[in-house]
A and B are shown apart, each in its own frame.
Chain A
Amino acid sequence: MNENQINDIDQQLYKIDRLTLLDCKQISFRKEKSGFLTLTYKGETFHRIDPTRLIPFFSKTTYISLSYENGEREFCEVGVIKDMKELDEEQYGILDSFLEYKYYMPEITKVSGIRDNMQGSIFVRADTTSGEKTICVRDWYQNFRMLTDKYLYVNDADGNKYFCSDINKLDRKSRSVLEMFT
């Protein structure tokens, strides 16, 4: 094995250790038919880019990882966008709409009642940004929890996710209903 080959492998092996923060001015997205995005960055084109929020509960627009699966279905990361604000308006719009769709999560705006069946499941009657729902939560200690003092995260029996970014901003009745379970 020659020196160049060793260097190539060395690069492949240690590339994953580096955090590549992307220069937002050189990013260009395009929606593609696969449901993912095509990224052009510094003249190079990457297909089937699947953007991921690295800290989805703390920030929706910072630290966005841009990655794809290669032919071997291995994870390949192009880099990380530190703050989407640095993107121009059009690119921001494309990325934001993709993330909003990927992380589609109705927000809870009102809680009218919660019934506990004393079997680990609760049934939450709530108004959400996608309408009024009865959310069935199994194993509620795990799936109905406060991630911070104010952020409520709900994962229902079907796998749908809901959230309330600040339960203190809900009306008084909702807060009192939630009190027992948060």
Chain B
Amino acid sequence: MDLRLKLPEPAPEGVVYSLPFGFAPDGEKCDGVFTVAGKDGCYHIYIYINGTAEEKYPLKDFREFRCRQQIGTSMAQGELKNGDVLCLCAFTQDLFLRYAQLMKLLEHYLRTGELLTDTGDDEPVCHRCGLPLENGQECVFCKSKGSTMLRLLKRIGPYKKYFITAVVCTVFSELIWVLMPYLDRLMIDRYVTPKLKDYSGLAAIALMAVTLLLMAGASEYLNMKNSFRAALNLGRDLREEVFEKSQQMSMGMVSKRTAGELINRVSGDAAKLEEFITANGKDAIVKILSLLIIGVLLFVMDWRLALMTILPVPVVFLIVGKLFDMMAIRYTKVWKTSTAHSEVLHDILNGIRVVKSFGSESREIAHYENCSMKWARACVRAEIMWYLTIPLSEFILTLGNFFVLYFGGKMVLGHTMTLGQLIQFTTYVAMLYEPINWMIHIPRTLADASVSAGKVFEILDLRPDVVDSTDAVDLDIKGDIEFDGVYFGYKVYNPVLKDISCHIKQGEMVGIVGHSGVGKSTMINLILRLYDCTQGEIRIDGVPIKNISQKSLRSQIGVVLQETFLFDGSVLDNIAYAKPGAPFEDVIKAAKAAYAHEFITRLPDGYNTHVGNKGFQLSGGERQRIAIARALLHDPKIMILDEATASLDTRTEKQIQNALAELTEGRTTIAIAHRLSTLSGADRLIVLDKGRLAETGTHSELMSREGVYYRLVMAQRQTTKMRAVKTEQA
């Protein structure tokens, strides 16, 4: 990263780092430069404000540097050896990463006495959007991808057999329809106008018409059958791919999207595209083809009348062209309101227990109605726009027909054209208007479908940020875990965990303790590799976690969380979720070990009892025991218990503790608990404080040390005592 973005004038000798900033330490806007310069181990920080060196600090006077992110600005701070904290400068967020890097390098200097001068160049960025280019390749956000709709049509590839059959059948039936007016002409000119009573000739034409109609019907049937096959398969592919992608996304990516939004993309948008392909995909080819065939026929029959027919077409297309952008805006709005509607619906129904317990049904009904109304209003706006313009366009389009009737009629009366020819001509004109009309309607459907296609491809094009390395292995885990200088933050450079180094031995039970938000669950998230650490390395059995395939890793780690999630299904389904196809006896053994068998047996339908949505038909303790049974059946090498008993009463906790003792037997176990008594069985405790590993040892070792853990225990004991006193007083 380039840390010499702007040099002061005149620059001091030996500039190592130099970055601009926009706010003076007192918060006033300015044109400033933060410079680190010097030589032979004697370095200074220079703060230039509006061209003048306002401050100069020896680097050795500091004991810590940090970057503090605020809301709209951030500041670089230094803590002097006497404990005073100085704001060195402040800047907007676009400079944050550079300053964060600079502060880290200054920290490195304080620790090692070495000032790294080679900070490298900036990552190459896209000149259009300014986002980093990965491996110097073309920007994934800006590269030309061609039309989104073209991408959609290309996905027909695997079903081209069906698609081509459908197109051929449609072309065939279109040709039959082109022949029909010719038969009309023959009938009128040869038999009707001369009033010729040649019934055999008439019958032959009628027979031919019936045969052609039957052939058109058969061809239409084949067309529909094949086009539905192609479209439905395409829809299924899209749905499955979007769902698969949603499963592959890292936790960081998933948490950015609401479940409602993802549901909308998996079902709503994919269905819309499916419908688009069924209704319009092949039509595009056929309509253009019939436009050409009929157009040529009309010009062959009478070029002057044909010209009159197509005279209004350019005007109509001009209107339609303008309409497309307006429709795209309105349909994006429809998409947004429909997604918001799904999100609200999903949220309310998911939190129905909360809604009911607060008696806020009427408020939620009003909330839902408001979203529903916004969606309806967006749809109405889009449709009104459409239906205001389209009748006018259609009227302009059919003006040509009036000219044809007037001049064609005159030609018939003047005997330069037969009645049959005129009827044939006007029928063709009507047939010509059909594809043109279709083209007029295309902006509406295309705008609607391209919005959905864009949203679907947006998910499909996502690149997961936690990926298996190319040489990732399937490891048969024994359970030895090592954290080596691990830093991690949900926001890069705002670390939750700082320099964590510890070793959890195979088969050991380790408790992680510390205040809320200190990074206990984050450590577990890193072991599960739901996120990648920013710096440092985690090794399992000596193998870096990044080199173990995610599937292999997670299949050997069992997790029991505070909030147990049960799927809508039976008790059996939920326990066997960990090991599909496990023999029923194994399920019972797991349930017994988890102290769950007893209550399951008392349920009316035993293991077939339906647990209801999220297991709401069971108590918290029962749900937890099912989760433990599930984890036992999974037979993991590493067991993680994240506040597994926090929400239970003491009696239930006792039972669960027994179940957990079974579960953790001989396995590497990592447990998190606020209630420190829960961790009494741990071999060792890891104490986190302010994101750092403060101490480690057994309960008695840590108590005798009277450090962070001791204070935690004492505070908890006192709180318990006070609660007891208050309860007694009450």
Contacts and interface: CB of A to CB of B under 8 A. Distances in A.
B92 A119 contact: no
A35 B75 contact: yes
A145 to B, nearest CB: 10
Contacts of B73: 101-102, 104
B690 A35 contact: no
Interface string A137-173: 0110110000000000000011111000000000000
A102 B718 contact: no
B690 A73 contact: yes
A119 B145 CA distance: 11
A64 to B, nearest CB: 13
B87 A13 contact: no
A124 to B, nearest CB: 11
Using C-beta atoms within 8 Å of the partner chain, give the interface range for chain B. 35 or more
Interface string A41-77: 0000000100000001000000000000000010000
B470 interface: no
A109 B148 CA distance: 32
A121 to B, nearest CB: 5
B458 A34 contact: no
A161 B481 CA distance: 41
Contact of A35 (B27, B93, B148, B328): B27
Contacts of A1: 718, 721
Given A101-B23, A180-B333, A159 B722 contact: no
Given A34-B86, A118-B454, A141-B261, A102 B722 contact: no
A9 B461 CA distance: 55
Given A35-B25, A102-B71, A119 B86 contact: no
Contacts, number: 116
Interface in B224-275: 256, 261
Contacts of A89: none
Using C-beta atoms within 8 Å of the partner chain, give the interface range for chain A. 35 or more
Nearest to A158: B94
Interface of B: 23, 25-28, 68-73, 75, 77, 84-87, 90, 92-94, 96, 128-131, 140-142, 148, 256, 261, 328-329, 332-333, 336, 339, 454, 457-458, 461-462, 690, 718-719, 721-722, 725
19 contacts: A33-B25, A35-B25, A35-B85, A35-B87, A100-B27, A102-B70, A105-B72, A117-B142, A119-B140, A139-B256, A141-B261, A157-B131, A158-B93, A158-B96, A159-B94, A160-B72, A160-B93, A161-B72, A179-B333
Given A1-B721, A101-B72, A138-B131, 19 more contacts: A6-B721, A9-B722, A35-B68, A35-B85, A48-B85, A73-B690, A102-B70, A102-B71, A104-B73, A104-B92, A117-B141, A118-B148, A119-B458, A120-B458, A157-B130, A159-B96, A160-B72, A160-B94, A161-B72
- Nearest first, the 3 closest Cβ-Cβ pairs linking A and B are A35-B87, A104-B72, A101-B27
